[in-house]
Amino acid sequence: MPHPFQTIILLTKIREIAVVTGQGWGKSQFAPIWLVDGMVQSAGDVMFTEPTYDMVERIAIPNFLDFIHNTEAEGEWISKKHHIYGTDFGRVFFLSTDYPEHLQGSHIKRAIMDEAGMSPFIAYQMVKNRTNLYNGQVLALSNPYRNKDAWLFTNIKARYDSGDPEVMFLTSPSIWNPAFDRQRFEKDRKIMRPEEFAFYYLGIYTKPEGLIFPYEREDVVKDLKYEGQTCYGGADFGTGDPTVLEIAFLNSTGLHLIDEYYKQDVDISTHAIAFISLIKKYKIKEIFYDPTALVYVRQMKRELEKEKINVKWTKGKSGKREGIEAQTKLFRQKRLTISPRCYRMLDEDMNYIWGLNGEAPDKDDHCETARKYLTLGVNEILKRKEPTMMKTEIKQTNWIQEHFENLWNSVMAGTKRKEIKNWLERY
């Protein structure tokens, strides 16, 4: 039985709904209620996403099957392997947002994203696109995760605050669930840090303290269109850790990261196939790589040579402090942008926090490391591309010269005068 706040969500016809809550609010139990309600009202396919396939199997599928058990909505598996469940009202696709590109597929009438704040913004865009044909609803349920890209607040909430009629953004504390333990709520309010209590119980987002790159998301996250510019890459190779390639192009306004590759537990030939595809797609001219990974680079070069792929490999600079300073400068100048496609990098930025010893973290920073190699590698190119006032100054000088030459000719008309080529010398 939904509690009163959940009833509001069931009744609204607004297309995009985001609900950020404290823990214990009943998100996972409410999700199948909302989905089945939509299927009964208008038969058609629906989608149920979780941030990982483990969560799909532990949370989404069991909760959904429990809710429809012995009801007219109960059906059978069409493909248990691919997590597709069939009912008389339509199919249910259970999907993970681990790899947003895998969300492509059937058009759907309703979609729910459980723990949406753990998923990248590009996954939300993909899910929403799946509903476009039917102008279907999307419901994003989440806690206010502080260590992830805060797109729920900087995009969805910002649109709601600006009056977008297609968006509803709601915040609900845990105790709005009548079944929640009030005594636990009051006890933890007294003993927990305010930002922790806000996360666990209030559904309120607070920005992490001590971020190394404390930029404002709206200044940095830009979905710039790639129009065939020459690109550069920063690569971090891992043994047991992910291998990462961050891709960017340069122009007069700065460095623009437009895509990334992030893969773990595969061999070098698999990485090479992905690198080849990205090098071709983005016309990558040069890759700045981890200087300790020369063995991997040699293997990668051999794989690329087989396909006649020509790209320059340059050892990246390894100075962590130097990399932080260079990136901080670009962020402050608003000359470094990041595409939503680089979602793992955006997540890492929200976890990249100064340690108590004043040092940057030395783990879980694979995207940061690749971006460091890239940023330091193209730093000289960036300097050469800094916008100047040269053209404006020349235009202004020519206008002044023309004005005074006309004045000189008017005053000196009909008189003998020595030819002076430099007009400034006449005065």
- Domain chopping of the chain, boundaries: 4-202, 217-384
How far, in Å, CA of 249 to CA of 229, rounded?
6
Residue with tokens 């404390």: 214
95 strand-pairing partners: 49
pLDDT at 415: 57
Distance of CA 6 to the CA centre of its chain: 29
Write down the pLDDT at residue 371. Answer: 96
pLDDT score recorded for residue 26: 86
Q: How far apart are CA 157 and CA 399, in angstroms?
A: 50
What is the structure's pLDDT at 405? 64
Predicted local confidence at residue 193, as pLDDT: 85
The pLDDT value recorded for residue 4 is 76
Side-chain-facing half-sphere of 74: CA atoms under 13 Å: 9
User: How many CA atoms lie within 13 Å of 277's alpha carbon, on the beta-carbon side?
Assistant: 9
Instruction: Give the pLDDT of residue 395.
Output: 46
What is the C-alpha to C-alpha distance for residues 331 and 219, in angstroms, rounded to an integer? 9
pLDDT score for 411: 57
Q: Give CATH superfamily name and number for 4-202.
A: P-loop containing nucleotide triphosphate hydrolases (3.40.50.300)
Contact call for residues 347 and 97 (beta carbons, < 8 A): no
**Cβ–Cβ under 8 Å, residues 148 and 117:** yes
Give residue 362's pLDDT.
82
Which amino acid, one-letter code, is at 102?
Answer: H
Q: Do domains 4-202 and 217-384 have the same CATH topology?
A: no
Q: Determine the Cα–Cα distance for residues 377 and 383; give it in Å rounded to an integer.
A: 12
Determine the Cα–Cα distance for residues 131 and 47; give it in Å rounded to an integer.
10
The answer to whether 283 and 258 are in contact (CB under 8 A) is: no
Other Cβ atoms less than 10 A from the Cβ of 259: the count is: 17
Give the C-alpha separation, 224 to 375, whole Å: 18
DSSP three-state, residue 167: strand
d(CA 410, CA 373): 61
CB 310 within 8 A of CB 297: no
- Going by their DSSP bridges, the two strands 137-142 and 167-172 should be labelled as unpaired
Task: Give the global pTM.
Answer: 0.75
What is the pLDDT at residue 397? 45
pLDDT truncated to tens, each residue of the chain (427 aa)?
667 788 889 999 999 999 999 988 888 889 999 999 999 988 899 999 999 999 999 999 999 999 999 999 999 999 988 899 999 999 999 999 988 878 877 899 999 999 999 999 999 999 999 999 999 999 999 998 877 888 998 889 999 999 999 999 999 999 888 888 999 999 999 999 888 888 889 988 888 888 999 998 889 999 888 999 999 999 999 877 899 999 999 988 899 999 999 998 788 889 999 999 999 999 999 999 999 888 889 999 999 999 899 999 999 998 889 999 999 999 999 999 999 999 999 999 998 999 888 888 888 899 999 999 999 999 866 665 555 444 444 444 455 556 556 665 665 655 555 555 554 454 4
Q: What would the CATH number be for the domain defined by 217-384?
A: 3.30.420.280
- Contact by Cβ (8 Å): 301, 267: no
- Distance (Å, whole) CA 315 – CA 293: 9
Distance CA 263, CA 277 (A): 14
